[in-house]
Structure 1
Amino acid sequence: MATTQTPDALLVKSYIAGDESALSVLVSRHQSKIYGFIYSKMADRDIADDVFQDTFIKVIKTLKSNSYNEEGKFLPWVMRIAHNLIVDHYRKNKKMPMLRETEEFSIFNVLSDNSLTIEDQLINDLIEKDLQKIILQLPDDQKEVLMMRIYQDLSFKEISDITGVSINTALGRMRYAILNLRKVIEKNQISLSA
């Protein structure tokens, strides 16, 4: 019988063996993290809901076909499925995801100072808008790692698991993203300070 204390790997085995409740435990255990990841990438909640459902349809099909072999790494595997479905969605629609600035993901919240004047805040907002335009010009793989690291505060291990690349590849993409940002900033003589 599946319980909330049962490890993921055992729940997966139980589900494959026919215990439907094991999948419910897995979904409720990980749904907020998986849905949060999907929603952070999508422009609208209905599409995010669809991708979330499609993710678990694919999870169920894979588990039922006995082709799951992630050896106890259930969450990263599901995140990789979600990531691939998001990429497929944007490929089909030929649209790149927009940067979604929210209160919690604004880079200037980290730097914010309660003594900022309205003028300083306006300058900071303009600088961040310029920075976001530059980020949009990066190659997709570099932009993805940069967004996950800075705006979603994911570790390189999490980025590696979600994107299905090694940690070194994720680190390399981040390094190239920063080098490319520097080149664009220097080439255009952009000042990123207030």
Structure 2
Amino acid sequence: MNNVDDSLLIASYQQGNEGALQTLIERYKGRIYSFIYSKVLDRDVTEDIFQDTFVKVILTLKGGKYNDEGKFLPWVMRIAHNLTIDHFRLNKRHNIINETSHYNDEYNIFDYIGIMDECSETKIIKEQIDVDLKNLVKQLPDDQREVLELRIFKDLSFKEIAEETNVSINTALGRMRYALINLRKVIDNNNIILTVE
């Protein structure tokens, strides 16, 4: 299976072959992990962003929303890049602006303008999205809801979540994955919009 083209593996995974995704992950794990680590320089954070990247990949593929143009790796790298930016937005707003403007062309200073200049209408919409999202999360099974709240709302790492909930990291990741899948179903079934645009 290692010689199979990416697009064939994606199609196989979408038809229910879980092993096809595992092959894709193994194929690109080193490059994606190294890319994330080169930005955050922290193994735990890298692991979290890597796992979050593939949660997004899984949700998009399972939802049939991936348009295959033979560019699977660049697509995954873009997801990893965006999640890395999100990490810096949450944790290092000021430092990253200084660092990126000096030596790192991969990040764009315009990515951060939105942090500093949000109009009141956008804030109101975001607040409503936040309320809607919290109401949706309440519909999840308790174990899934707990992991999702700790990850999204309290910004704990999967390692910290595992310790807080007395489960293994793999169990925490599994619960997060199912929480996101179930959340996506509720959002799709109710035609809920969770974006500002």
TM-score, structure 1 as length reference: 0.51
Amino acid at match of 2:105: E
- Contact kept? 1:62, 1:68, Cα under 8 Å: yes
Shift in CA distance, 95/45, structure 1 to aligned 2, threshold 3 Å: farther
Amino acid at match of 1:5: N
Which of 83, 88, 91 lines up with 1:90 in the alignment? 88
**What corresponds to 1:7 in structure 2?**
5
User: What is the CA-CA distance between 1:137 and the residue it aligns to?
Assistant: 7.1
Where structure 1 has 5 or more consecutive residues not aligned to the other structure, the ranges are 99-134, 147-194
Is residue 56 from structure 1 mapped to residue 57 from structure 2 by the alignment? no
After TM superposition, the structure 1 stretch with the greater mean CA deviation from structure 2, 88-97 or 44-53, is 88-97
Aligned residues: 108
SS state of the match for residue 85, structure 2?
helix
The Cα offsets for residues 2-60 of structure 1, whole Å up to 9 and x where unpaired, read as x0010001100100011111001000000000000000001311000000000000000
**What corresponds to 1:110 in structure 2?**
none
Amino acid at match of 1:136: E
SS state of the match for residue 144, structure 1?
coil
1:152-191 equivalences in 2 (<5 Å): none
Amino acid at match of 2:10: V
Cα root mean square deviation, aligned: 2.7
Q: Matched residues in 2 for 1:7 and 1:38: separation? A: 24
**What corresponds to 2:33 in structure 1?**
35
Amino acid at match of 2:101: L
1:14-163 equivalences in 2 (<5 Å): 14-93=12-91, 94-97=93-96, 136=99, 138=101, 143-145=104-106
Amino acid at match of 2:18: E
Q: Matched residues in 1 for 2:37 and 2:90: separation? A: 18
Look at both structures and tell me which one has the larger radius of gyration over its CA atoms.
Answer: 1
The Cα offsets for residues 41-100 of structure 1, whole Å up to 9 and x where unpaired, read as 0131100000000000000000000000032210000000000000011111125359xx
Where structure 2 has 5 or more consecutive residues not aligned to the other structure, the ranges are 108-197
TM-score, structure 2 as length reference: 0.50
User: What is the CA-CA distance between 1:145 and the residue it aligns to?
Assistant: 3.5
Comparing both structures, which one devotes a greater share of its residues to helix? 2
